[in-house]
Structure 1
Amino acid sequence: MLRRLYYTLNPPIPTKAAGADPPGKPLNFGSLGAATITPWALVHAAKTHPEVVLYAVAARDTKRAEEFAKKHGFQRSFGGSTGYQDLLDDPKVDVVYNPLPNGLHFEWTMKALKAGKHVLLEKPATNTSAEAAQIFALAESKNLIVLEAFHYRFHPSMQRVKEILDSKELGAIQRISATFTVPSGTAAEGDIRWDYELGGGSVMDPGCYTVSILRYLASSNPTEVLTAKAVPYSTRPEHKQVDKMFWATLSLQPEIIGELHANLDESKIFGFIPRFPTISAKVQCEKGTVEMFNFLAPSIYHSIAVSPKGKRRRVEKAYTFKGVAKGEAWWTTYRYQLEAFVDKVQGRTPQHWLDPQDTIDNMKCVEAIYEKDGFGPRPPSKYIYTED
């Protein structure tokens, strides 16, 4: 674990002398915004990918953009009120990474596609499923790639869980439970995750992971939201539709029950001891269960507990793919995701992929949960796309 953690933070940077030239033309990445997730989701992963160049970053604050670029190795920065558009207008940018607040995903992804850029888009892709459909329709018309960054899907550990279920070793799936909670303070007062207009709320943030995992492991979409309950972030009027935690029960075919829970504000023990995050998925089948611990950051540590009825329980771990050359035990979910994304952009076949309908269906499910719990879906963007 210590070795994996060390190389995650200090990845061995490939050099031309260490091997052959990269198989494809290096891609210049531009990041919209200097978000806190960017170092993990893009910067660290890019350092070990020979076809990825950290070319530019844009931020509303010019000084912040300059400091972020210098700290993380971007070649240039764009700042000020036109910074985002200036980045998109740069002909040297091949790919745009969009980690902006949820409510801005649609506008700036559409603008990036209009500018002819591929897009690695943070999850959830948009505030509404209709917006997600618009994004992928435009991308297809322009022959561009857009990927919603559900990075956990690209790691060997979650794919191993899916492989166990698909093998029918444990029989038919009966119930899937997915939980994602984080301690109070993770999203501080005033954080964008508490802003309704920007797509805030627990279903949109950790909850969209639980929805994705449910659908992925079940290999089907929910047919109905049976129950849904949410708790508002505060009693203030601006938070009446912003959920800090939720529970939902869904039905899926064939005869599968899904149980989801997410909490963006898990209360402290005795009022002062922070709780550890709970990030797990459990699948109950006819002939036993399988449980995945820590699907979010499995490269640090994870476990896959398989408990067949009448047989000895076993624990598996999967840090690399068997028989596949690509991948190291210390590769994070983001690194595996970047590998697949670059392969797709370069015209190669990625090891794993999320197709457009996957993203659209995930947003439909998020909307259905919000309808059921009474909080209502997040508001659509006011941005209207035009070609001219």
Structure 2
Amino acid sequence: MLDFFFRLYYISNPPKVAAQSASSNPKPLKFGCLGAAKITPGALVNPSHTHPEVVLYAVAARDKARAEEFATKHGFQKAYGGSMGYQEMINDPEVDVIYNPLPNGLHFEWTMKALKGGKHVLLEKPATDTANEAAQIYALAERKGLVVLEAFHYRFHPAIQRVKAILDSKELGAITNISISLTAPSGTAKDDDIRWKYELGGGSTMDPGSYTVNALHYLASSNPSSVMKASAVPYSSAPEHKKVDQRFTATLAFENNIVGELYSNLNESRIFGIIPRIPKLTATVQCESGYIEIFNFLIPSYYHYITVAPSGGPRRTEKAYSFKGSAKGEDWWTTYRYQMEAFVDKVQGRTPQTWLEPQETIENMKWIEAIYDKDGFGSRPHSTYVFHDDKDTK
């Protein structure tokens, strides 16, 4: 219990470190943030306080007043606003990195524009609406020698990596089934939330569902071969929600005989219409000689536990809040703080503790599209933005 309160305190009050000077080696990275999204404080602002190579430099919003208010509240040095605010921030030569937490349907356009402007990109998940868009992003990043990371933050935490290590050790034998559930209680996304807007890439499969797909092929150490079955339920009966899923279930097959079962619900109903349900945040892997389960794989920095149950042997519980040995990290580091460490290391030319390769992002979008195809909801609309080099030869 004391450890829990210790972590909670430092997660809420991370100890600030002084940013390195511009003349230091390596030079600190100046981040520009697209929009004033609710995720930004936890995903970017708080982690930056404890990283000496990160500077909160600028934020851009369609409304200049909102951008200025956000900058003042969260410690950004500059604010851009108006119809050209996003592009003006990208054009700022002081900006090194663009953080893109915009609605899913805008990820492709503004990530391509950021790369065109010579900026590295920390890109919120899911990276795009389609696999084709994801492939275009990474092709441009490779050509320009820039870093793009799809922000599946949980992958950088020791907890999920410990689960993977146990599976890879073959202590429990070969994997036979993986079941992953991720839900949010009713009211998490209000009626006017962007996650219910088809044209902006909305839907449960795109939000919590994207985590389940990513975790599936990560734990399986391979990609699925087919979607055996999938079904989904629309958010409401309104015409605009015809293709916007509130929840989905899917069963995927792998060539090595693994079966993956996924479930996500972005609007899980209340008990008796009053009591919010506890979110499902569980991944269970059944193996030939036992099973392993992690509770709270998504935000394990607050609390989690890993149950390892060998067939015919004693069951044990493990926890992993930090890495052992030489790897960086503290028990109170959030998944986003571990992610930032890896991202900065990559941009600065160091080897990160772990990384999500471009093909993982492309495959993730491929299987999200395949699930949508199977359940009849269809892929989210491809961006209308068309990239042009405009004599940019970098």
Structure 1 residues 138-287: aligned runs within 5 Å: 138-287=140-289
Q: Is 1:4 matched with 2:7?
A: yes
The answer to whether the 8 Å contact 2:19/2:55 transfers is: no
Matched residue type, 1:329 = D
> What are the residue-to-residue correspondences of 1:88-99 with 2, within 5 Å?
88-99=90-101
Comparing 72-81 with 90-99, greater Cα deviation is found at: 72-81
**What SS does the corresponding residue of 1:135 show, helix, strand or coil?**
helix
> What is the aligned partner in structure 1 of residue 344 from structure 2?
342
Letter in 1 for 2:17: P
| Separation of aligned partners in 1, 2:98 and 2:27 | 16
Q: Which amino acid aligns with 2:197?
A: D
Cα displacement (A) at 1:324: 2.1
Q: In structure 1, what is the equivalent of residue 17 of structure 2?
A: 14
**What's the TM-score once normalised by structure 1's chain length?**
0.98
Give 1:296-311 correspondences, 5 Å limit.
296-311=298-313
- Residues 30 and 296 (structure 1), Cα distance of their counterparts in 2 relative to 1, 3 Å cut: same
Matches within 5 A, 1:38-187: 38-187=40-189
Q: Residue 32 of structure 1 contacts residue 59 of structure 1 at CA under 8 Å; is this kept in 2?
A: yes
Separation of aligned partners in 2, 1:176 and 1:339: 29
CA contact (8 A) 1:22 1:51 kept: no
Shift of 1:23: 5.4
Task: Provide Cα deviations, 1:108-144, integer angstroms capped at 9, x if missing partner.
Answer: 0000000000000000000000000000000000000
AA of the residue aligned to 1:284? Q
Partner SS for 1:221: coil
Instruction: State the distance in 2 between where 1:270 and 1:196 align.
Output: 30
State the shift of 1:296 in Å.
1.4
Take 2:96 and 2:353, find their aligned partners in 1: how far apart are those partners? 22
User: Could you tell me which residue of structure 2 aligns to residue 376 of structure 1?
Assistant: 378
**TM-score, normalised via structure 2 length:** 0.96
Structure 1 residue 330, shift from structure 2 partner: 0.2
CA distance in 1, matches of 2:78, 2:350: 29
Structure 2 CA distance, aligned partners of 1:214 and 1:141?
30
Q: Post-superposition shift, 1:287?
A: 0.5
Residue 113 of structure 1: SS of its match in structure 2?
helix
- Helix, strand or coil for the counterpart of 1:222? coil
Structure 1: 5+ residue stretches without partners = none
Counterpart-to-counterpart distance in 2, 1:92 and 1:225: 46
Cα shift readout 1:144-186 (whole Å, capped 9, x = no counterpart): 0000000000000000000000000000000000100000100
Contact 1:126 1:132 in 2 (8 A): yes
Change (3 A) 1:316 1:186: same
Distance, in Å, in 2 between the alignment partners of 1:22 and 1:121 is 27
The 2-side partners of 1:129 and 1:259 are apart by 21
Residue type at the aligned position of 1:9: S
Q: Is the 8 A contact 1:320 1:329 kept in 2?
A: yes
In structure 2, distance between residues paired with 1:123 and 1:133: 15
Contact 2:19 2:54 in 1 (8 A): no
Partner of 1:332: 334
Deviation at 1:190, TM superposition (A): 1.1
Instruction: Report the secondary structure of 2:373's partner residue.
Output: helix
Counterpart contact for 2:327–2:353, Cα < 8 Å: no
1:290 partner amino acid = I
Runs of 4+ in 1 over 6 A off after TM superposition: none
* Aligned mates of 1:322, 1:226 — CA distance in 2: 40
- Give, in whole Å, the separation in 2 of the partners of 1:261 and 1:316: 25
